[in-house]
Amino acid sequence: MTQDEGSRRPDAVEDAPTADRPTGEVGAPDQQPPSTSNALREALQSMMSSSVLVTVGAVVLALVIGSVLILVGDTAVQSTLGYLFQRPGDFFREAGRAISDSYVALFQGAIYDSEATTAERRVRPLTETLTIAVPLIFAGLGIGLTFRVGLFNIGGQSQLVLGAILGAWVGFALDMPPVVHIVVVLFAAALGGAIAGAIPGVLKARFGAHEVITTIMLNNTSRYFLLWVLGTGAFLSATPQVSPGLAETARLPLLLGGSFRLHLGFVLVLLTAFAVWWLMERSVLGFQMRAVGVNPEAARTAGMSVRKITVLAMALAGTLCGLAGAMQVAGTEGRLTGSVYGSIGFDAITVALLGRSRPLGTVLAGILFGALAAGGRIMSSRAGTEAELVTVLQAVIVLLIAAPPLVRSVFRLPAPGGPRTRAKEVAA
Amino acid sequence: MSADTSTAVTTPTAVAPGFNRALVGYAVIAAAALALALTVPSGISKIQLTTGPEAIKIPLLELPAALAVGVPVIAAAVVAIAALVQQLRTKASAPRWMAIVAGSLLLLGFLAHLVAGKDGVLPLTSLLTSTLFLATPLIFGALGGVVCERVGIVNIAIEGQLLAGAFAGAVVASIASQNPYVGLIAAPVAGVGVGALLAWFSIRYRVDQVITGVVLNVLVLGLTTFFFKGLLSDLEGLNDRARLPVLPIPLLSELPVIGPVLFRQNLLVYLLYAIVIALQIYLFRSRWGLRVRAVGEHPKAADTVGIDVNRTRWRNTLLGSAIAGLGGAFFTIGQGLAFGIDITAGSGFIALAALILGRWTPTGAVAAALFFGFANALSQSLRSYGVSLDSNIPLMIPYIVTLFAVAGFGGRVRPPAAEGVPYVK
């Protein structure tokens, strides 16, 4: 019973993004070849109703909601509210200033800082964006992979933490030659993540324990486990609750020299994204995983071992999340701390959702969230708008993207593909 | 409090799979009791039963460890073995009270064992008080979850509802010139706000309920932190401390041990008692409860007999969110604290665990939440007993226990059948 439940629910996860996909992607299998007279109209309609447009609409709506928050949080705007009816112009001027200041600062902090004095400082925001995106993409790839197998892996945090612990320990405790060391660190982190991922996988496959619950429990366990580990003798350093720094040989080399934080992880994550794409779309295992995600019963009937694939998918996802942990300890942080996981585990869920569980989408979504995070810091220092606005934006974007009919009704977009798919979407 | 659970939950189908596991459970209790009995250190155990205000006072108990540990532990073993024998002989599950009695006695022996031969005093009453204190928001959250999940809506957003309630409670109480009772009204309203979003997205737009819940948690954390940094810390009078006054119940509050633990509380905790009792009765003994459970188990059947499935889901989601939101107020006005960033710190997820461990019943959720609260209270006070154990280890226990429970050790855990599935007519 529990197993049925578990497999049915994540199907819906898949359904939501795929419901409006066929018309968005050219050459989707169930599309009739358009007759020449209608080709243009249909192409136009498919573009209007495509998921891309829904994504853009969701971002626009989120920015509108963000604007309201900026106004609420801005003291200058509040002061004009006192005499709104005497001089409404003041309010609108202040409101416009507050909103544009915030969003300009967000852009400056995320992409290109036009206010900076040197060329180096001008492009630094973009490199920061990419640096922040690296662990997000790694973990997002892992979580997206489980989505496609019909599993809802919320355990990115625990997998990241265990990966970070093992990776960091190998990084500071062992002495190895330069290239070998970082490779071993990455393997150790991947192994740690895989273990943390395999636990809920086995519990699900063997006992039917729902992975949402088990991964949430593992996340919370991992938090205290990390604090406990940091207090043990092997991880003691001069600073309490912080591990010794990783050896120079265990650090990921910087890509653009010492003044930028961007490290080799960015290249690794792009290669990994390609590897995940190949695995899911071109390999037998990927086919089996997708088959289990679409319909576990049918996959079982076709002779696939649903249990084995469940465990394997969770372990693979854990591997990717563990690598995200490696990016933290061997890339940006250089040591293990009690808060090394940040909010990456949960952000990665939204990254995977926004990227519709596809590797390319996840890379782009990760970069978008990296940009929002990097921009948020500058926004709070320059425009005085709190960086948490970005968290709200992320949440709103993902909520809206999960509900395409809502976005379409706001922007009066046509439903995808006319009555036939519309009926399907309602039934989904 | 959980004594009547057996009559309410145990259905003929649930007895059979739990039978063997109950045997294992009793065997484990008996074995643990004997292990404790055999390892009693020499010296005395100091147990403190009265803390001050109550009228009837009991002096500090200084018992030889052999007595303080041995008596409860051997009693626990006797009860457990009796249950084991009875279950094997009659081929039916032993009554639930035997498990509760054996477990409590074992716990008492364990505590006496902890402080045996050490300088530290075991403050039993204050340990129980802080257990209830730490469990209160968990119970609220878990009850809110029960009301939602019984009707087929997965409520991962408990954390967000608690946080919204904590925020609204603190801010509204401050604005209403620090009147905590006004905050007590605002907190459930904030919870309902989060619940309305959950219902809107998951019922109206059929977005996956887990996704909605996870994202709503992020949204509420983002919003409350944004307003905390942007408004509450800039402007005066928005985030002052207000505290619900303690209302001791005459006579009852003067009893030793249970007086200060149960009857020297604020209105919020008394409300909690009422909600627990009302929910347990209404969910299993009323027409409303039958309808709610029908919608959660088999919405199609419920629809066939004329129950409006989605309306019932809407109502219950809002009601459950209100209860969770009310619980959020405990973090701020219930404790006399101002709002702080992420003040709930993951309590919603422990509440979720309590709800599952309590098998989607109000009394079960209460028992599980009390257990989690106890583990937490114990971990906070271990050091003062002179026990050198890293405080992070007991904090992991609730989650690991839930992990095992969900995996099916110690009884089958079955959610409402239609949970998470949108209903389409």
Do B96 and B188 sit in the same domain of this protein? Answer: no
B424 in a structural domain: no
CA distances from B288 to B63, B238, B281, B322 (A): 52, 40, 11, 18
DSSP A174: -
Q: Which two tokens stand for residue A281?
A: 């779309």
Is B358 in contact with B367 (CB distance < 8 Å)?
yes
Statement to judge: residues B96 and B178 lie in one domain: no
> What's this model's pTM, rounded to 2 decimal places?
0.85
Residue A30 CB neighbours (<10 A): 9
* Residue A313 near residue A200, CB atoms below 8 Å: no
Domain end marker among B120, B140, B161: B120
Query: Can you tell me the distance from the alpha carbon of A63 to that of A372, in angstroms, rounded to the nearest whole number?
Result: 12
pLDDT given for residue A407 in this prediction: 87
Q: Which of B97, B120, B143 is the last residue of a domain?
A: B120
Name the B residues in 130-159 with CB < 8 Å from any A CB. 156
| Best of B210, B216, B298, B391 to mutate (most A CBs within 10 Å, chain A) | B210
pLDDT reading at A294 higher than 60? yes
DSSP H or E segment with residue B73: helix B65-90
What is the CATH classification number for the domain harbouring B246?
1.10.3470.10
Q: Count of CB atoms within 10 A of residue B152's CB?
A: 31
Q: Total structural domains in chain B?
A: 2
In the stretch 92-111 of chain B, residues with CB closer than 8 A to chain A read: none
**Chain B residues whose beta carbon lies within 8 Å of the beta carbon of residue A224:** 392-393, 395-396
Kindly state whether residue B175 falls inside one of the protein's structural domains. Answer: yes
Cβ count near B354 (within 10 Å): 31
Q: Is residue B417 part of a domain?
A: no
Residue B397 belongs to a domain: no
pLDDT of residue A33: 46
Range of the domain at B358: 125-386
> Would the CB atoms of A231 and B390 count as touching at under 8 Å?
yes
Task: Find out whether B368 and B353 touch, Cβ atoms under 8 Å.
Answer: yes
Contact call for B393 and A224, based on CB within 8 A? yes
State whether B84 and B154 are in the same domain. no
d(CA A344, CA A327): 11
Mutant choice from B13, B153, B214, B397 vs A, greatest count of A C-beta within 10 A: B214
Closest CA to B49 of B116, B111, B122: B122
Whether residues B312 and B194 fall in one domain: yes
Q: Are residues B134 and B160 in the same domain?
A: yes
Using one digit for the tens of pLDDT, what is the confidence trace for A10-41?
433 444 443 333 333 333 344 444 445 566 66
Q: Are residues B205 and B301 in the same domain?
A: yes
**pLDDT attached to residue A4:** 40
Answer yes or no: is B270 within a domain: yes
Residue contact B207–A16, C-beta within 8 A: yes
- Asked if residue B5 is part of any domain, the answer here is no
In terms of domains, do B345 and B381 share one? yes
* Interface test mutation site (partner A, options B21, B206, B379, max chain A beta carbons within 10 A): B206
Among B223, B393, B424, the residue with its CB nearest the CB of A427 is B424
Cβ–Cβ below 8 Å for A426 and B230: no
Q: Which of A398, A399, A424 to mutate to test the interface with B (most CBs of B within 10 A)?
A: A399
Instruction: Say whether both B84 and B111 belong to one domain.
Output: yes
Nearest to B214 among A209, A349, A426 (CB): A349
Per the document, the length of chain A is 428
CA angle B326, B331, B335 (to 5 degrees): 110
B337/chain A closest Cα distance in angstroms: 23
How many C-beta atoms lie closer than 10 Å to residue A96's C-beta? 12
Chain A to chain B Cβ contacts (< 8 Å): 162
- Is B102 among the domain residues? yes
Instruction: Tell me the shortest Cα–Cα distance from B64 to chain A, in angstroms.
Output: 34
pLDDT of residue A402: 85
Range scoring the smallest mean pLDDT among A317-326, A383-392, B114-123, B280-289: B114-123
Report whether A61 contacts A407 (CB < 8 A). Answer: yes
Among the partner residues A8, A152, A224, nearest to B421 by beta-carbon distance: A8
Say which of A12, A213, A389 has its CB closest to residue B356. Answer: A213
Q: Do B149 and B116 reside in the same domain of the chain?
A: no
For residues B152 and B73, state if they share a domain: no
Mean pLDDT by 10 residues, chain B (425 residues): 40 51 80 84 78 70 82 89 86 78 86 78 85 94 95 93 96 89 94 96 90 92 92 82 87 82 90 95 94 93 93 96 96 91 88 87 91 84 71 80 73 76 84
Same domain, B300 and B181: yes
Last residue of a domain, one of B76, B102, B120: B120
Nearest Cα neighbor of A24 from A331, A307, A322, A417 is A417
Q: Could you tell me the pLDDT band of residue A428, with boundaries at 50, 70 and 90?
A: very low
Token pair, residue A93, equals 């001027």
Q: Are residues B38 and B157 in the same domain?
A: no
Q: Which residues of B touch A206 (CB under 8 A)?
A: 407
Q: Which residues of A touch B234 (CB under 8 A)?
A: 75
Contacts of A389 in chain B (CB under 8 A): 222, 226
Confidence of residue A365 (pLDDT cuts 50, 70, 90): very high
Does residue B51 lie in a domain region?
A: yes
B63: phi then psi, degrees, rounded to nearest 5: -105, 150
Average pLDDT of chain A to the nearest whole number:
84
